[in-house]
């Protein structure tokens, strides 16, 4: 792999400091060093590992643009984004507020259409689809998790989770079974009859994760899923997402929190509607380990 920076620049930054400094009588400066300075020879820093191209990506985006037209004003939310995400990846999308993260998620999730560029989901060009085809592909292939949970207040956890199956015409009995399985996967098998108001924030988000899972999607899109949760509860959600990812589900997660991004194997950073960094995190933190170390799993009976 090529080293992207200029080697001279790096060498310059590592030049030894002058061993002695002149001390003027009128200004206060550091005293001369009496101990010999030890210099450690270091090579240039290792370049960040970039994701390799994949043969059959789940997401293939080329030069995607999105402009919002508001009267006379045009907001350039995405200014030419290219991105490939392979099967089984766990990608954190990061960047400041307004940098285009949610806009990208809406396009990947087929909730909106781009102004320009190309998008293939599982090898199928999304640009050319009709509205009905878009709704179909969304329902079959994508599970969504939002910051605000977006559960229906009058429905039980099980009914909320089963809802996407209503749209895909699954019979009632199978809907119930699959909703129960999905709730068990997020450790909420015993809360199936509870309404959202009877559940904690973390439990509500786990219901939302179960709802995203129930259609057996190949891709889960999570926009700030831990944004409304305290750090402990957020960690529980990350543990569940890591476990789903280990089972082969591709996850793209938006977060502005670097601590959350450290649980993901790849980190894509946005600024002003463009990708400015795309690197692999070779040692993602294991949320389950962190929770187990603090004794949290035993106390709260969150299923590992
Ligand atoms: N529906 C919309 N109409 C007009 N402007 C929008 C709309 N959605 C987002 N924007 C603008 O597009 C830019 C990117 O927004 P967004 O994708 O929500 O950023 P992020 O999720 O990174 O905070 C912002 O300037 C935002 O104000
Ligand atoms: Mg956003």
CA 116: distance to chain centroid? 24
pLDDT at 161 over 90: yes
Q: By the 8 A CB rule, do 58 and 86 touch?
A: yes
Strands (E), 86-218: 90-94, 116-121, 124-125, 142-146
pLDDT of residue 50: 81
Summarize pLDDT for 67-87 with one digit per residue, the tens.
Answer: 999 999 999 999 999 999 999
Q: By the 8 A CB rule, do 145 and 205 touch?
A: yes
Q: By the 8 A CB rule, do 100 and 276 touch?
A: no
Summarize pLDDT for 259-278 with one digit per residue, the tens.
Answer: 999 999 999 999 999 999 99
Q: By the 8 A CB rule, do 60 and 120 touch?
A: yes
Top pLDDT among 69 and 18 is at 69
Summarize pLDDT for 19-60 with one digit per residue, the tens.
Answer: 444 444 454 555 555 665 666 677 777 777 788 877 789 999
Q: Verify whether ligand 1 is closer than 6 Å to residue 99 (CB atom).
A: yes
- Give the burial class of 179: count Cβ atoms within 10 A of its Cβ; 0-12 exposed, 13-18 middle, 19 or more buried: buried
Q: Verify whether ligand 1 is closer than 6 Å to residue 77 (CB atom).
A: yes
Q: Which ligand is nearest to the CA of 269?
A: 1
pLDDT of residue 303: 52
Dist. CA 51–CA 265, nearest whole Å: 10
Among protein residues, the one whose CA lies closest to atom 3 of ligand 1: 68
Q: How far is the CA of 270 from the centre of ligand 2 (A)?
A: 11
What SS3 class is residue 102?
helix
Q: Verify whether ligand 1 is closer than 6 Å to residue 227 (CB atom).
A: no
Q: How far is CA 61 from CA 82, 120, 273, in A?
A: 5, 6, 14
Average pLDDT, the chain: 86
Of 285, 303, 273, 284, which Cα lies nearest the Cα of 63?
273
Top pLDDT among 3 and 295 is at 295
Dist. CA 117–CA 216, nearest whole Å: 28
Q: Ligand 1 pocket test: pick from 75, 79, 108 the residue with the most ligand atoms within 8 Å of its Cβ.
A: 75
Top pLDDT among 272 and 300 is at 272
Look-up: residue for tokens 């962190």?
A: 290
What SS3 class is residue 31?
coil
User: Which segment of 81-85, 97-101, 163-167 scores lowest on mean pLDDT?
Assistant: 163-167
User: Which segment of 57-66, 184-193, 294-303 scores lowest on mean pLDDT?
Assistant: 294-303
Dist. CA 176–CA 162, nearest whole Å: 7
Specify which residues 120 forms β-bridges with: 60, 125
Cα dihedral 108, 110, 116, 121 sign: positive
Work out which ligand 1 atom sits closest to the CA atom of 273. 14
pLDDT of residue 72: 92
Q: Verify whether ligand 1 is closer than 6 Å to residue 101 (CB atom).
A: yes
Q: Verify whether ligand 1 is closer than 6 Å to residue 100 (CB atom).
A: yes
pLDDT of residue 32: 58
pLDDT at 297 over 70: no
pLDDT band at 243 (very low <50, low <70, confident <90, very high): very high
Work out which ligand 1 atom sits closest to the CA atom of 104. 17
Q: Which ligand is nearest to the CA of 95?
A: 1
Q: Verify whether ligand 1 is closer than 6 Å to residue 102 (CB atom).
A: yes
Q: Verify whether ligand 1 is closer than 6 Å to residue 97 (CB atom).
A: yes
CA 164: distance to chain centroid? 22
Q: By the 8 A CB rule, do 4 and 10 touch?
A: no
pLDDT of residue 15: 42
Rounded to a whole number of angstroms, the distance between the first and last alpha carbons of the chain is 38
Of 252, 259, 278, 227, which Cα lies nearest the Cα of 81?
278
pLDDT of residue 170: 94
Of 61, 108, 102, which Cα lies nearest the Cα of 82?
61
pLDDT band at 16 (very low <50, low <70, confident <90, very high): very low
pLDDT of residue 34: 60
pLDDT band at 128 (very low <50, low <70, confident <90, very high): confident
């Amino acid at each position: 792999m090529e080293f992207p920076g200029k080697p001279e620049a790096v060498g310059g930054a590592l030049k030894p400091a002058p061993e002695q400094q002149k001390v003027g009588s009128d200004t206060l400066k550091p005293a001369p060093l009496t101990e010999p300075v030890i210099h450690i020879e270091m090579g240039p820093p290792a370049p960040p590992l970039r994701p390799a191209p994949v043969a059959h990506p789940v997401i293939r985006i080329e030069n995607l643009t999105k402009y919002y037209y508001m009267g006379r004003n045009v907001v350039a939310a995405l200014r030419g984004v290219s991105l490939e995400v392979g099967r089984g990846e766990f990608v954190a999308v990061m960047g400041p507020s307004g940098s285009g993260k949610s806009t990208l998620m809406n396009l990947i999730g087929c909730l909106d259409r781009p102004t320009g560029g190309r998008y293939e989901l599982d090898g199928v060009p999304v640009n050319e689809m009709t509205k009905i085809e878009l709704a179909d592909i969304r329902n079959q292939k994508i599970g969504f998790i939002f910051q605000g949970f977006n559960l229906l207040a009058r429905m039980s956890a099980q009914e909320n989770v089963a809802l996407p199956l209503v749209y895909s015409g699954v019979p009632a009995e199978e809907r119930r079974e699959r909703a129960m399985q999905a709730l068990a996967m997020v450790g909420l098998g015993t809360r199936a009859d509870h309404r959202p108001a009877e559940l904690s924030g973390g439990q509500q988000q786990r219901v939302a994760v179960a709802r995203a899972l129930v259609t057996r999607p190949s891709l889960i899109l999570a926009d700030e899923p831990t944004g409304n949760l305290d750090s402990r509860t957020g960690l529980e959600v990350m543990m569940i997402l890591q476990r789903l990812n280990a089972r082969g589900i591709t996850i793209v997660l938006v977060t502005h929190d670097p601590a959350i991004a450290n649980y993901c194997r790849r980190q894509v950073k946005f600024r002003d509607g463009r990708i400015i960094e795309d690197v692999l995190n070779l040692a993602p933190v294991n949320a389950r380990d962190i929770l187990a170390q603090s004794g949290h799993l035993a106390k709260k009976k969150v299923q590992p």
